[in-house]
Amino acid sequence: MWIKMILYRIDYIVTVILFCIGLYALILKPNLIKKIIGINILETSVYLFFIASADVRLGPATCQWAGPSEISNAAEVAHAAAGHVPLVNPIPSALILTAIVVSVSVTAISLALAIKIYENYGTLDTRKIMRLKG
């Protein structure tokens, strides 16, 4: 039984694992490039969460067509009356396209900064870079 539950929610579990890996890399790794990779893993985990929550064909519906609100669209009423689970929600995919663009620009600017920091300090190790006390 619990194996079935885990299998149904495997994408959410992977989301949590990826989130923890990303957070670990971002906070504890001293290398700047590894920190940037950490940010990317964090962002990927959130995108996976969005995409997984849009797909409701497996298991109990975590995200319905219109959340917990009443169904008002005639097509949806017919769809529900026929006993079908609601369709895959298209909105999260559209949102994630935008969020990927954002994350690409964050990655680009952070890599450019890492190059500049290497030129100025000669290292990418945060333990050697730390000059400001803030």
Partner 1 sequence: MDLVFGIGASHLQVFIPLILLIVALMIPLIDKIDKRYRDPLVVLTTLMSGIFAVIVFLKVLSSPTHYIEYLVGYAWGGQKLLHSGQPIGIALRTDLLGAILLLLINAIGFLAVVYSLQYIQHDVPEEKHTYYYTLLLLMLAGMSGIAITGDCFNAYVFFEVASISSYALVSINGKAESLEATFKYLLIGALSSVFIVFAIGLLFNATGTLNMQYASQQIAKIIDSTPGSPYYPYRYLIFASLGLFIMGFSVKAAFFPGHAWLADAHPVAPASISALLSGLIVKATGVFLLIRFLFSIFGIHKGYYGKILSPLFLIISAITILSGSLFAIVQTQIKRMLAFSTIAQMGYILFGIALVTYNGLAGSILHIINHAIVKSLLFLCSGIIIYKTGIKDITDMGKLGYRMPVTMACFTIGACSMVGVPPLAGFMSKWVLATASFQAGMPYLVIILLLSSLLNAVYYFRVIAISYFGDPKIEVDKIDEAPKTMLVPVLILASLVFILGILVKYPYHGAALPSARLLFR
Q: Does 123 bind partner 1 (CB under 8 A)?
A: no
Q: Does 134 bind partner 1 (CB under 8 A)?
A: yes
Return the structure tokens found at 114. Answer: 């890492």
Q: Which is nearer to partner 1, 68 or 83 (CB)?
A: 68
Please tell me the distance from the alpha carbon of residue 15 to that of residue 21, in angstroms, as a whole number. 10
Position among 14, 21, 37, 71 found at the interface with partner 1 (CB under 8 A): 71
- Provide the minimum distance between the beta carbon of 9 and partner 1 in the complex, in angstroms, as a whole number: 13
Position among 1, 2, 4, 72 found at the interface with partner 1 (CB under 8 A): 72
Residue whose pair of structure tokens reads 């680009």 in the numeric block: 108
Q: Which is nearer to partner 1, 21 or 129 (CB)?
A: 129
- Provide the minimum distance between the beta carbon of 63 and partner 1 in the complex, in angstroms, as a whole number: 5
Q: What is the DSSP string of 41-106?
A: HHHHHHHHHHHHHH--SSSS-SS-EEEESPP--HHHHHHHHTTPPPPPPSHHHHHHHHHHHHHHHH
